[in-house]
Chains A and B, each alone.
Chain A
Amino acid sequence: MDRKNIKKWLKEHGKMSHKYSLWVIYFCTGCGIIEIPPVITSRWDAERFGVIPVATPRQANLFLITGYVSVKTLKAIIRTYEQMPDPKFTVGFGSCPINGGMYWDSYNTIKHLDKYIPVDGWIAGCMPRPEAIFIAVTHLWTLIDKDMATGYIKYREKYKYYRANQEKVLNGLDWPPLYPINDNEETE
């Protein structure tokens, strides 16, 4: 422990606890989930970084979207994301959530995930190595330090637009809005 940093740590203890206890929801959307078992087990022990997989979204605050997202999976992703407590961070894993990847002309796969839920960071590659997850986690630490990982705040502020996109692609959602939708808000 560096004594010089004690002041800073005491000042920002909230950020400290967010940084070093990223609990990741173990949610399989596509092929990318195959990289998660080696990451969390002894070969690349993810708990060194405070990353452990949890079973329910209510305990998690990091959401790894692993692999391509079909329309039906998107519904489950939105439900999961809305159940997670704040602060929550999303990382798109693999090239498919970024721009469709090899499914760029598929009839039933989401092309840009950040049109539907906010995404704080991306890991490019098909497949990314397990080390890439740790690089992503350390990048996420710096983003949290600089107050830049604010996807969940953006989701609250822009909920109207996210909800409109979600309803457009899913032909309407069968649950009520998470945040009140204010129609008087100025359109951009």
Chain B
Amino acid sequence: MNNSLKQEIKSMFKNIKVIISKDKSMLINARKDQLLAVLKFLKGKGYNHLALISCIDWEEEKQFEMVYVLTPYLQRSKKVTDDWRLHVIVKFRIPRENAEFITAIPVFKNAEPYEREIHELFGINFEGHPRLTQLFLEREYKIPPFRKDFDTRKYVKEFFDNIPFVTEKK
């Protein structure tokens, strides 16, 4: 079944790379404009649980890599064979400057907090997201803190170490 799914994806979409690795995961490298179509297709095939959205900062290549991990939610139903335990990992590369991506909320509603988190920590703007407000952090940072060029030690020295102690009364 894995190979048939692979062939099906390859025939459905152009310029797409599909690799099946030994640890039961399928890697798909796709382009930015294929996001919704690929996710919708995989959802129809039974991979109906968006487990994670992650982001990787490739500073030297000046790219961000978005990672979507999909699994079949009802793994223990009667139909399920071992092939169904496959994890599907969909990857997209986007340029690092003025990073913009498309929201996956029309297909998976639970994408909302993940995208807010990535917006907050990597500074990627998600087109079509209803509320890109802060999720975890109380402060605003000039460079989003999970980017590779964010120097945490310099930031700590400049900000936290400059707050004065409240000295004892003489």
Interface residues of A (CB under 8 A from B): 71-72, 75, 104-108, 110-112, 114-115, 118, 154, 157-158, 161-162, 165, 168-171, 188
A158 to B165, CA, bound (A): 11
A125 to B145, CA, bound (A): 28
Among candidates A104, A106, A111, A157, residue contacting B169 with C-beta atoms closer than 8 Å:
A157
Shortest distance in angstroms between B120's beta carbon and chain A's nearest beta carbon? 11
With A104-B156, A108-B145, A157-B169 as contacts: A115 and B140 at CB distance below 8 Å: no
**Residue on B nearest A117 in the bound complex, by CB:** B166
Query: Which of B138, B160, B168 has the most chain A CB atoms closer than 10 A to its own CB?
Result: B160
Query: Which of A75, A104, A108, A169 has the most chain B CB atoms closer than 10 A to its own CB?
Result: A108
Among candidates A72, A157, A165, residue contacting B164 with C-beta atoms closer than 8 Å:
A165
SS of B interface (majority)? loop
A116 to B155, CA, bound (A): 19
Shortest distance in angstroms between A154's beta carbon and chain B's nearest beta carbon? 8
Interface residues of B (CB under 8 A from A): 136-141, 145, 150, 152-153, 155-156, 160-161, 163-169
Are A72 and B166 in touch, CB under 8 angstroms?
A: no
With A158-B166, A165-B163 as contacts: A111 and B139 at CB distance below 8 Å: no
Q: Which residues on the A side are within 8 Å of B145 (C-beta)? A: 107-108
Q: Which residues on the A side are within 8 Å of B137 (C-beta)? A: 71-72, 108
A158 to B170, CA, bound (A): 12
Are A107 and B150 in touch, CB under 8 angstroms?
A: yes
Are A115 and B166 in touch, CB under 8 angstroms?
A: yes
